[in-house]
Structure 1
Amino acid sequence: MASVRLGVAERREELLRATVEQIEVRGVAAFRIADVAAVLGVSNALVLYHFSTKEKLIAAAFAHAAEADLVQLRKLLSRRTSAVRRLRAAVRWYAPTGRAKVWRLWIEAWAAAVRDPVLRNVAGDLDQQWKAELAEVIEEGAAAGEFHCDDPMSVAWRLTALLDGLTVQMTSYAAPLSHATMLAWTDEALARELGIDHAVLTG
């Protein structure tokens, strides 16, 4: 059977998806260009034609996966409901028991970024976008009188730091905590940060 000739955008998309899958299976440290080439039945040279180095391919694949979750976050935060409801939906989705897709990739990226400046810049930029999205809605809620908050960005930092830490515990260490406990903790943290009663948050 003749192979299908893909356009540049389609080929890059295919390479990025395959790279994400291989990183999830092998991790960043063991990942090789040859793994992606073998899965797709293409040459190493073709992969390198689109992404000149392994480091750039890994960074692009991480950004590709993380940006998909960022799109979903923005959808949750743009719903036509109160800021409190939007924030709770976003935090519960972002939590390690939620449906965010790239937790294993984030953990791989945190480790690899220590030595890889390309990945460090990509991961750092995406992380700041997450915080900025949350801070914007926190600011909206405070302006609407739903709660009081003098420093929305600090709240966003503390919330994401908690969620990141819980993710490491649940993903890397398989912490023996139930999903119900994790979600209860995220609700408690959000209510505390917003200065509202737990019943207001969950009602």
Structure 2
Amino acid sequence: MARVRLSVGERREELVLAAIEQIEARGVAAVRIADVAAALGVSNALVLYHFASKEKLVAAAFTHAAEADLARLRASLARRTSAVRRLRAAVRWYAPTGQAKGWRLWIEGWAVSLREPALRAVTRDLDRQWKSAIAEVIAEGVAAGEFVCADPRATALRLTALLDGLAVQAAVYTGSVSRARLQQWVDEALAKELGLTAGELAAIPRRSRA
């Protein structure tokens, strides 16, 4: 059966999604252009026509996956409810015990970005967007009198740094820390940063109207 002709945008998206799957299965270092081509039944030349090198394809794959998670984060933070509810929901989702899909790719991306300036620029920009989105909602909560936080940007950095570190532990040393303990640490850190007790944070209803 003949393959359906795709537009340039559709073909690039197909290649990026295949690259994400291959990276998740093999890791950035091991994945090859040939692996992505074989997964789709196309030629290496076709992949290289759309992405001139493996590095460019990896950067596109990382950007696609990370932006999808970023869009989900922003949607959670934009809900019509209190800032503290939005923050708790977003942090719980972003934590390694939550539903964020990009952790393996983020970790791979960090490692490769040490050697690849192009990917380093991508990871830096996306990381900045994560922190800015969280800092903005923290500032909203402070302005509304929901909690106290002297430096929303520093708080966003500390929270995301904690979550990043826990994600590495959970991904690399599977089973070393239980999901319940990880979630407890995340909740305790969020409560402390917002000047709340763990009990006050736990008393906030989880469900809210979007």
Is TM-score (shorter-chain normalized) higher than 0.5?
Answer: yes
- Written as runs of structure 1 = structure 2, the 5 A alignment for 1:138-153 is 138-153=138-153
| Aligned match of 1:165 | 165
Q: Look up the equivalent residue of 1:170 and give its one-letter code.
A: A
1:136 is paired with a residue of what secondary structure? Answer: helix
| Aligned match of 1:135 | 135
Q: Is 2:118 the counterpart of 1:118?
A: yes
| Aligned match of 1:186 | 186
Structure 1 position 198, deviation (Å): 1.6
Residue correspondences, number: 203
Q: Look up the equivalent residue of 1:13 and give its one-letter code.
A: E
Q: Is 2:84 the counterpart of 1:84?
A: yes
**Quick one: distance in 1 between partners of 2:71 and 2:117?**
25
Structure 1 position 53, deviation (Å): 1.1
- Gaps of at least 5 residues in structure 1 are none
Q: Could you list the runs of 4 or more consecutive aligned residues of structure 1 that deviate by over 4 angstroms after TM superposition?
A: none
2:142 is paired with a residue of what secondary structure? Answer: helix
TM-score, normalization by structure 2: 0.95
Q: Look up the equivalent residue of 2:29 and give its one-letter code.
A: A
Residue deviations 1:35-62, cap 9 Å, x none? 0111101111111111111101100000
Contact 1:59 1:119 in 2 (8 A): yes
Structure 1 position 31, deviation (Å): 1.1
**Quick one: distance in 1 between partners of 2:53 and 2:73?**
30
Structure 1 position 199, deviation (Å): 2.0
| Aligned match of 1:11 | 11
Contact 1:76 1:86 in 2 (8 A): yes
| Aligned match of 2:208 | none
Identity of aligned residues (%): 68
2:21 is paired with a residue of what secondary structure? Answer: helix
Computed over aligned residues only, the root mean square deviation of the Cα atoms, in angstroms, reads 0.8
| Aligned match of 2:49 | 49
1:11 is paired with a residue of what secondary structure? Answer: helix
Structure 1 position 175, deviation (Å): 4.2
Contact 1:37 1:44 in 2 (8 A): yes
Residue deviations 1:2-60, cap 9 Å, x none? 11101111111100000000000110111110101111011111111111111011000
Q: Is 2:48 the counterpart of 1:34?
A: no
1:42 is paired with a residue of what secondary structure? Answer: coil
Q: Is 2:109 the counterpart of 1:105?
A: no
Q: Is 2:70 the counterpart of 1:70?
A: yes
2:5 is paired with a residue of what secondary structure? Answer: coil
Structure 1 position 116, deviation (Å): 0.6
**Quick one: distance in 2 between partners of 1:9 and 1:202?**
45
Contact 1:169 1:175 in 2 (8 A): no
Q: Look up the equivalent residue of 1:79 and give its one-letter code.
A: R
TM-score, normalization by structure 1: 0.98
Residue deviations 1:133-167, cap 9 Å, x none? 00000000000001111211100000000000001
Q: Look up the equivalent residue of 1:19 and give its one-letter code.
A: A
Q: Look up the equivalent residue of 2:123 and give its one-letter code.
A: A
- Gaps of at least 5 residues in structure 2 are 204-210
**Quick one: distance in 2 between partners of 1:116 and 1:173?**
26
